[in-house]
Amino acid sequence: MSAGAQLALQNLLNGLLLGGTYAMVAVGFSLVWGVLNIVNLAHGALVMLGAYVTYWLFTVYHVDPLLSLPLTAGALFVLGYVLQRFVINQVIRASFLITFLLTFGLELVITNVALAAWTADVRSVTTAYSGLALSVGPLVLPAVRIAGLGVAVVVTALLHLLMTRTRLGSAIRATASDGEAARLMGIPIAHVYAVTFAIAAATAGVAGTLISVSFPIFPAMGAGYTLVGFVVCVLGGLGSVTGALLGGLVFGLLQTYAAAWWGPNFDNIVAFGVLIAVLLVRPAGLLGRAYRFRG
């Protein structure tokens, strides 16, 4: 294999592995946007909380980050349910601007509470396998990134099954399609909204765990991941779980190749430029159907 081909293949693998983390961030963002019709600007703050839950479980109780995934997801599920049922649900029928500002306010509150509790110090989760890598010939695959991509694929598959093969999924899809009709059919809309938001928060917690073992964490990190969730969601297609996975992988590839070919300053320039081009050609995204949530 020539040096050029080896570099191209290494960048391909790096982009896919990075895209797995991006996809995990975007899945919950897409779920809330597609069902509740809310652009949740607090999503990145929930990712940050997931990262800190993982950090403290690892630091204080020595729980391995990958083993703590159910605990982190459970904690964020409860928080997400409470936030939606008792805060966001109060303005669920208000204009888009009101819900937009409310979630922005929640993001500010969560971030500043985290700053007060944990200071702005940058932290990281360093495990025994943090520096491990799988060598396949001349290619190097970081173990934590492989695990991240694997978790993203598994979570996406489970959400797809939930949305397409369960009564809860049918209720969520019916609510997303026509809330009033779903209410007349006896579906408890408020509960469905809260469970949907809670599931999205749980996936944000999982994303936070994956991020904590690969990147530094700090209270203000959430805003950047909210942007990532928004871009990946739009790129893959609003209302599509599999679209979020595809969008994350595409976004990761675009950033990786742009940084390798033109330098690190071009990763977001190229990625956002391609996003605009996709929206001009296919406004619903790669796999999306406007205003319809699907698996």
Predicted local confidence at residue 291, as pLDDT: 42
pLDDT for res 55: 97
- CB under 8 Å to 99, separation ≥6 — which residues? 38, 39, 88, 91, 92
Residues of the chain with pLDDT under 70: 1, 239, 288-295
In order of 12, 37, 96, 241, the CA distances from 191 in angstroms are 42, 16, 21, 21
Give residue-wise pLDDT tens across range 73-115: 999 999 999 999 999 999 988 888 999 999 999 999 999 999 9
Predicted local distance difference test score (pLDDT) of residue 274: 81
